[in-house]
Structure formats: C-alpha cells, structure tokens
Amino acid sequence: MPGYRDLFDASITDPEAFWADAATAVTWTRAPQRILDDSRPPFYRWFPDAELNTCANALDRHVDAGRGEQAALIYDSAVTDTQRTYTYRELTDHTARFAGALRDLGVGQGDRVIIYMPMIPEAVIAMLACARLGAVHSVVFGGFAPHELAVRIDDVQPAVIVSASCGIEPTRIVEYKPMLDAAIGMSEHPPRHCVVVQRDTHRCELIEGRDLDWSDAMAAASPVDPVPVAATDPLYVLYTSGTTGKPKGIVRDNGGHAVALLWSMKHIYDIAPGDVFWAASDVGWVVGHSYIVYAPLLLGATTVLYEGKPVGTPDPGAFWRVISEHGVKALFTAPTAIRAIRKEDPEGKHVGEYDLSTLKYLYLAGERLDPDTYHWAAEKLGVPVIDHWWQTETGWPIAANPMGTEQFPIKAGSPTVPMPGFDVHILREDGSGCAPEQEGAICIRLPLPPGTLPTLWHADARYEQSYLSEYPGYYLTGDGGHFDTDGYLFVMGRIDDVINVAGHRLSTGAIEEVLATHPAVAECAVIGVPDEIKGQAPRGLVVVKAGASTDGLAAELIQLVRDEIGAVAAFRLVDVVPALPKTRSGKILRKTMRGLATGRDEPVPSTIEDPTVLEKLGPILRP
Ligand code: COA
Ligand code: AMP
C-alpha cells in the first residue's frame, strides 16, 4: 500500500485522479464521469454529474451485501441504564419507516428538517431518514436555548422538527418540549409539524394538529425506498459559531461527503467493516455527524451511541466500561473528557478494572491536546493517542497521524501532518509564506477536498467573505500555528473571536450581544480564558452605565446568557471593570486582553487610546 507521502503528493498534483479512485468505494446510482467542477472559482463542486443516496450507502447496501444481522448501532445509555443494539436490517427498517412518516407529513427532496434531540437512537434514525428522502437535516445541539433554536429555524426554514420530551443530564431532566415551543413561538418560519419521541423518564404535552407522537407516526407509516439525489445536493446544514452572533450554516453535500468519510475511516482511523468504532461526542456537533453516524455506517462498521458523560455517570470508569462491554476498537473524544476523567481518577485506577484489550487507538480532537493530557492518556491506556485537527467546516480531519496509512512518531502538541487534499500553508499577514517554526494563519489552498463545505446555507457572499477573501486562493481556517522543521503541524489556537469550551465551539461575539441587552451594561467584551478542565471558559468584562447598580449584576448576566444561548455556554465569570482598553478608533483590544489572561506578553498596539486602562486591568486578568 502506498505510504503517506505518495498519497499526499498524488492528492495535490492530481486531485481528480486521487478522488476518482476514492469514489469507487461508494455505491452510486449514477457513477461520476466528471470529478471536479472548477468552472466557478472560488466555488468548487465535487462529482458534479453523479447521483447516489447517502442512506442507501449507510444502510441498505450492507444488508444487500449480507451484513443485515451485524450490529450497526449500539445504544448505551448510562443515564437510563439501558442498552439496545440495532442490526443493519433493523436500523434500515426503522429508518425506511420513519422516512415514510416524514413523507406523510409532506417532507420531500430538498425540504429541511430540524432535529433537536438528546443522544437517543431516534436522533440517528431521523438523520438517516432525511438522507433517504433527499431532505436536508439540520441537527441543533440540545444544550442550546430557545433563542438559538429560533435563529436556526428562521435560517433553515424547516417543514418539520423532530424532537423528544426530554434529555437527561446527570443532575437534571432537560425538558425539550417547552424550549421547542418557545423557539417556535419566537420564529417567523414555524414548521408545519413536530414529531416528538416520548421518553419514559418524562412525557410532555403535544399540541393537537401540530405535534405527533413518534410511535404513532411510525405505526401509521409505510417504509420508503431511498431517493437518488445529485452528489452536489445538500445532505445537511450544521450551524456553527462564527465571530458574530449569527451562526454559520455549514452545508455538506452528499457525494463528496460519502467519498471523504469512507476514505478517512480506512486510511486515517484504520477501521474495517465489522469493527466497533465509538465517537463519544453528540449528534449535535460535527464529530457526531461524521463519526457517530455517517462514517462508521457508510463503512459497515458498528457505531456506539453513548448517552452519558465521561465522569459522574456513574464514575470516571464509564468510558472504559463501554469499551470493554462493546469491544470498541477506537475511541474518539475531546481532550476535555480525558481531563475530566484524570481529575477524578488521577492514578487511572478505573482503567485497570476493565478489559480494554480490544482498544487499539484513542483519537482526540475538538480543541488543542495539551501535552500533559496526551502523556497521561498514553501512559494509562497503552495505545497510540492520536491528536487530529479539524473543524465543522471541513467535516473530516485536516491534519492527523494516519494510522491506516503510516504511523508517524508522535510529537505531543502536534496533530502531525496534513491529510490528502488539504494543501496547508502558514501565511503571514501580507500573504507570504512563513518559514518552518514561524507562526502564522493556517490556510488551505483551494480547492478544498471532497467532504468539506461547498458554501454556507443560502449565503454564498458570507462564505466568500468569511473564509476566502483575506487570502485569495486560500481557505482561512481561523486557527494560528506553524510547521516544524520535520513538517509536523502545530495548531496553537484561534486567531479570531471563536472559543472552545469543553470541545464546544462558541462565539464570544454572541455572548457579548446578549450581555449588551442588559439595561445596566454600557459596553462589554468577552474573551476566552484558560480553564483546567474545559480548556477555555468565557469571561465577561462589563462596564456599567453611569449610576447603574452592580448589586447582583453578575448573577443576572450569567442567567441571561444561560437563558439566551444555553447552559452549554458555561458562562460563569463576569467582572465589572471601570473601562475597556481600546484603539483610538474605538476597537476593543480583545487580543491584548486574551494575552494578559493567558499570561502571554501580547504587544500593546501603538494605536491604544489610553494605556492606563490596560494597566488597571492587568491585576484582574492575569492568571
Ligand atoms: N442538553 C442539554 N444540556 C446540556 C447538554 C445537552 N445535550 N450537554 C450539556 N448540557 C449542559 C450541561 O448539563 C451543563 O449544564 P449545567 O451548567 O446546568 O451544569 C452545561 O450544559 C455545560 O455542559 P458541559 O460544558 O458539557 O459541562 P459539564 O460540566 O456538564 O461536563 C465534560 C464537562 C468535560 C464532562 C463534558 O463537557 C464532556 O464530556 N465533554 C466531552 C466533549 C465533547 O463531547 N465534545 C464534542 C466535540 S468532540
Ligand atoms: P469545531 O468546528 O467545533 O469542530 O471547532 C473547530 C475548532 O476547534 C478548530 O478551528 C480549532 O480551533 C479547534 N480544534 C479542533 N481540533 C483541534 C486540535 N486537534 N488541535 C487544536 N485545535 C483544535
């Protein structure tokens, strides 16, 4: 088998030949004759004349190939103490029937369906059912508050929303239905119908005429066959935080997505059909889309859907129990989960209580993997711990240590090397390339490979402006970093106002917009500060209006962010400060404050309006 260098070089010098070869792993209803449509740069389309159905590739074809009785999905709920296994045949039957239920509600090809659900099998079934119909799903993470859901409803304009009566967090029941109703009440484009899974833990009221009980809808429906769609048709829209309060609707196509994910499972993750793969994430995030749902199923592997936490459900041995009970070959999670486990079980005693002999790899992504966490995991688990770097936008890893191709010596702190198709460059502000060891903006030369975003939902101009305008011919990742002299990439952190809290991507701008609505707040800034477990935490700095009281203000602001954005923002740090440092043109010096808060010596811009403001902030911000 060719090594990494051969594959990477081939993908850059002749991308069409490279991806045409990879595309043979997909079952097409119309095989691609053309591989890349580059007639409208900077917009590129992969497999422009091909047709397929993603759901048929993820389910039916495995049943047809004799894998019908193999486990497709293992649901393991630590919070309800339930386990359920779906074979490929069963998952296909449920999905075909739910697709029928959606069709009965008028959902057809190209229509949108929002999925606002906890980690239960029905969430996966709903996603696949949309794919089966050629409808476009948009999953909204359950930790978001009604306002965030309403913003997504209005942008994507769903025909139907699929939800559940509740989610179960270790310390509380999260009632989804009141949040769903509130969001629909706020939105200008309400769905015609909602389908609601009634969970035994807590049942909810349904609105007659609008809402259907999942079980009733299933009982009344008949199964439907997969609908072939163009490879370039959207499979889903997944909203992610940008630098402003308005989330970006990342579009994923059908064809490029299937090709790239299949390629990644074999060549990066070293997973074969029949292996058990577990991404301990949430279907509301891109990791959940790609590596809980689509990639393992496209390959014919077995995926684990875990409803629970790394700690507290019931203890820090939860992950090791799941691995041993289900024979997991590779676990994929975020460094924050490992830090949480390590904090409660520093000696790794729980690791020793389980048979982890099936585990071959631990993959970590979602935030920077700090060397301490890397060393702890590598030592306690005794398997390769693979840091890899990617984004909602790319859908699969930009850089990794490709276990299925060639195993590079690991350098702690580096996600190793760029993956085929990702022509990564480190650029200075003037657009010139950085030398090894020199820090700059991490950019990817266009075209991006299959599986990455072709555009933003109904926002081509915003796509160009956000990602492609700063360095013409390149995609701006928003991360800063460098290559070392061995060609290893180091991703050091965001260079914009996006932060990563417990592997969850948040916009400081969105939190600022909420704080600014409080009547006592004159102006505010939110920055990411280091957090021992979550990597980063948002910290708000507010200046109050003259004469406004600060009594109880911090608690009110914390509640406001929780109500407007959601518990997931984990917003708990607020300081009232006399003033915010600004340039003479009035721009708040967030980068300089970030530097202070992380203990880095950020140069103070010469355009600063009043240096004493910064001096006064020093003692408050410094770690
Ligand atoms: N629905 C509703 N609420 C949710 C939720 C969901 N799906 N997921 C999280 N929340 C809530 C939590 O209950 C918590 O609420 P609280 O403030 O009332 O305690 C809040 O959102 C913050 O959640 P989180 O940041 O996850 O913190 P935590 O203390 O509950 O757990 C970790 C910390 C590290 C255990 C947890 O973040 C984790 O397992 N992370 C793994 C990372 C991950 O999955 N990343 C995805 C990308 S790979
Ligand atoms: P998301 O779109 O939520 O997956 O977040 C993507 C962002 O998370 C990236 O732009 C990085 O800032 C960060 N990230 C993800 N994986 C890594 C990694 N392995 N190392 C450093 N940062 C990472």
- Domain membership of residue 316 (yes or no) is no
Q: How confident is residue 606, by pLDDT bands cut at 50, 70 and 90? A: confident
- Domain membership of residue 115 (yes or no) is yes
Residue 243 has pLDDT above 80, yes or no: no
503 CA to centre of ligand 2 in angstroms: 8
- Domain membership of residue 342 (yes or no) is no
Same domain, 82 and 175: yes
> Alpha carbon 331 to chain centroid distance?
16
Same domain, 283 and 432: yes
Nearest CA to ligand 2 atom 21: 368
pLDDT digits (tens, 9 = 90+) for 346-397: 999 999 999 999 999 999 999 999 999 999 999 999 999 999 999 999 999 9
Nearest CA to ligand 1 atom 32: 337
Q: How confident is residue 453, by pLDDT bands cut at 50, 70 and 90? A: very high
Same domain, 458 and 522: no
Same domain, 579 and 456: no
Same domain, 28 and 87: yes
- Domain membership of residue 553 (yes or no) is yes
Rounded Cα distance between 236 and 251, Å, is 6
pLDDT digits (tens, 9 = 90+) for 480-508: 999 999 999 999 989 988 999 998 999 99
Which one of 447, 481, 515 terminates a domain? 481
Same domain, 108 and 234: yes
- Closest-lying ligand 1 atom to the alpha carbon of residue 569: 22
Same domain, 548 and 403: no
Same domain, 185 and 233: yes
Pairing state between β 82-87 and 71-77: antiparallel
Same domain, 226 and 112: yes
Q: For ligand 2, say whether the CB of 137 is within 6 Å of any of its atoms.
A: no
pLDDT digits (tens, 9 = 90+) for 203-232: 999 999 999 999 999 999 999 999 999 999
Same domain, 476 and 506: no
Residue 93 has pLDDT above 90, yes or no: yes
Q: What percent of the chain has pLDDT over 90?
A: 91
Residue 527 has pLDDT above 90, yes or no: yes
Q: For ligand 2, say whether the CB of 388 is within 6 Å of any of its atoms.
A: yes
Question: Looking at residue 524, what is its pLDDT?
Answer: 96
Which one of 431, 448, 481 terminates a domain? 481
Q: What percent of the chain has pLDDT over 70?
A: 100
Residue 516 has pLDDT above 80, yes or no: yes
- Closest-lying ligand 2 atom to the alpha carbon of residue 364: 19
568 CA to centre of ligand 1 in angstroms: 6
pLDDT digits (tens, 9 = 90+) for 544-571: 999 999 999 999 999 999 999 999 999 9
Give the angle 398-400-406 at the CA atoms, nearest 5°.
130
Q: For ligand 2, say whether the CB of 316 is within 6 Å of any of its atoms.
A: no
For residue 456, what is the domain's CATH number? 3.40.50.12780
pTM of the entire predicted model: 0.96
Residue 603 has pLDDT above 80, yes or no: no
Structural tokens at position 620: 């408050």
Question: Looking at residue 614, what is its pLDDT?
Answer: 87
Residue 605 has pLDDT above 90, yes or no: no
Residue 601 has pLDDT above 80, yes or no: no
| Number of domains forming the structure of the chain | 2
- Closest-lying ligand 1 atom to the alpha carbon of residue 502: 37
Same domain, 183 and 136: yes
- Domain membership of residue 382 (yes or no) is no
Q: For ligand 2, say whether the CB of 248 is within 6 Å of any of its atoms.
A: no
For residue 595, what is the domain's CATH number? 3.30.300.30
- Domain membership of residue 331 (yes or no) is no
Question: Looking at residue 232, what is its pLDDT?
Answer: 98
491 CA to centre of ligand 2 in angstroms: 9
Ligand nearest to the CA of 503: 1
- Domain membership of residue 330 (yes or no) is no
Q: For ligand 1, say whether the CB of 337 is within 6 Å of any of its atoms.
A: yes
Angle at which helix 15-22 crosses helix 255-267, to 10 degrees, equals: 80
- Domain membership of residue 276 (yes or no) is yes
Ligand nearest to the CA of 391: 2
Residue 169, domain extent? 4-308+388-481
Q: Are 161 and 194 in contact (CB under 8 A)?
A: yes
Same domain, 469 and 544: no
